[in-house]
Structure formats: C-alpha cells, structure tokens
Amino acid sequence: MTTKVFVDGQEGTTGLRIFEYLANRDDVEILRISDAQRKDLDARRDFINRSDITFLCLPDVASRESVSLVDNPSTCIIDASTAFRIDEHWAYGLPELSKAQRERLRTSKRIAVPGCHASAFVLAAQPLVAAGIVPKNTPLTAYSITGYSGGGKKMIAEYEAGAVKLTSPRPYALGLQHKHLPEMKVRSGLDFEPVFTPIVSNFYKGLAVTTFLHPQQLPGQVTPARVHEALADYYAGERFVNVAPLDAASNLDEGFFDVQACNDTNRVDLFVFGNEERIVTVARLDNLGKGASGAAIQCMNLHIGADEGKGL
C-alpha cells in the first residue's frame, strides 16, 4: 500500500532533505503543493487532510496553525519544530529513548521530532540518569559544536558568501536560553536544564555535544568504564546508536575528534573520555540526518510499519 506524504514547509532545509530521503521510495506518494498555494490556508488544509503523513517543517507558530487544520483522524503529523517536544500528548521522536518508545511512535498520530542538540544530549545523558549514575538533581554542563546548516537558509547563504568574520567558530545563545533546553531536561529525566552553550563553525553539517561529569559530585564510584558500560548496555542491539569502544585509538584522529564523521548517516556515535577525576561523554551525529530529517523519516517508517531504516 502506498503512503501519501505531504511536507508543509517544503522549501526549508529540513523539508528539502526529507524529499531527498523519499525520492527513490516506491511505497510513498508525495503530495506537492504549488508555490502559489503554499501560504493558502484552505489549500494547506486540503493537502494535510488528504495525507497519511504530514511533515511540518515550519516555525513554531506556523506548526501550531497547521495542526489546527487537521480534520482527518487518520492523518499522522510529524512536526520538526520545537512546538510540541515536551507536550505529553505528543510522542517524542527518539525511538531509542526507552523500550516503550517505539510502540508509542507506531500508534501515535502526533510525533515531535527532537532538536539536533537535544538528540545528542539526551542520548548520552538519559541512560546515565536511568541507571542512577547521574542523579536527577545533578546540574549538568554541556556544549555543542555544529555546522552552519542548522541555522537554516539565511545562515547557509551568509556562510557560503564567504564573509571573513565567519571563518572562526562562533559561540551563540549566550543568554543561556537556547530553545532546546526544555526537552534536554524533560527527555533526559533531569530536574534542571543544563548549562548549555552551542558553537557554530565554518563547515556545512555535523554536530557533537560534549557533556561534563565530575565523579566527585556523583554517588558511588563513577569511572569512565562504568559510564561506558551503562551506555553500551542501554543501546545494545540499536542499529542507529553506536557506542564506541572505550579508549580505542580509532576514536580520535591523531588526538583530535572528527565532528563530521557521522555525516550522511542516520547514526549517532557515543564516546566516553576521561579518568577517575574528570569524565566527558561526546555524542556525534549529522544535524540534518539523525538530528532532523533522518529522525523524521525513521519515525515515519515506524508509524507505517516499514523497516525502520528504509531510505536511511
């Protein structure tokens, strides 16, 4: 059976990447709205309600508007904005989050795709909270370095214009109110939002979130080996989560970490570095893949009963 798919917000970076993932699939019929109709409310309503799956690749306010247009109870909405990521009525689009998460994604008609920074942070932190290694009331600190494609079409154009000021890494969101913070807290099971600073740099895509752990502030004897074992056990058998071997020389390139090594995949690589006094976890992914469009397609596959990795 063919699944009818509509992308509301088809001209954005996430929407265009979704089309790339779907281009060669014979089990999907893409419903394309014309440029003249893209902002026509009645036309969008018609496309949404004719679809089996509608991807929303829109700002928060526009996503909420699109959801209000749904009349067909069979239409599944997969939203890539931040609007519904901590809404208990929406399934969070991270199948690896818990053992029950895949079933919720199969049955829910409302799915919120995680943010790119949040996906990396949550995948590294949540198993440690679940295992009691990191208590829920631990104030964590993390930073992320990411390619400029995460900033959307305007930022991509600025970087590709070649301005000199953009050749060095640029920390941002220094008011410490990044839009991914609520889901980083809620989906990790923490009591507090982390202190988090993202950094955008002069490469197109790729992302790595580093989270700091101080064993002196954690209960019991927390070592890199214990943290690594918890992550490896939690993700055993997961096809899209790779827990790298502890202290393997292959984890680094002559002592340096490659932020872009997951590009063009739907994979997340998790690493543990450190010693008995200081530990960090690093989660690496493609911010346009598992961090956005790839995650959306993975959720669609689960919802329609296709192989989870189809097209990925």
Q: In the chain, what are the domains?
A: 3-114+291-304 (3.40.50.720), 116-287 (3.30.360.10)
Q: Which of 10-24, 89-103, 188-202 has the lowest average pLDDT?
A: 10-24
Residue 128 amino acid letter: L
Average of pLDDT values for 191-215? 96
Residue 78 has phi, psi (to 5 degrees) of -115, 105
First to last CA, the chain: 20
Lowest model confidence (mean pLDDT) among 112-126, 148-162, 221-235: 148-162
Average pLDDT over residues 167-176: 92
Q: Name the residue with tokens 């984890």.
A: 251
What is the band of 72 on the pLDDT scale with cuts at 50, 70, 90? very high
For residues 287-310, average pLDDT: 96
- With tokens 């003249």, the residue in question is 36
- DSSP code of residue 97: G
pLDDT of the residue at 56: 97
Q: Please say if the pLDDT value at position 180 is more than 90.
A: yes
pTM for the model:
0.94
76, 116, 262, 299: the active-site residue: 116
Distance, in Å, from the CA atom of 127 to the CA atom of 133, rounded to the nearest integer, reads 9
Cα–Cα distance between 92 and 174 in angstroms, integer?
A: 27
Provide the 10 A C-beta neighbour count for residue 156. Answer: 16
Over range 212-218, report the average pLDDT.
Answer: 94
pLDDT at 73 over 90: yes
Residues 6+ apart with CB under 8 A from 263: 205, 206, 286, 289
φ, ψ dihedrals at 111, nearest 5°: -125, 130
> Which tens digit of pLDDT belongs to each residue from 149-170?
988 888 888 888 888 788 899 9
Has 299 been annotated as catalytic?
no
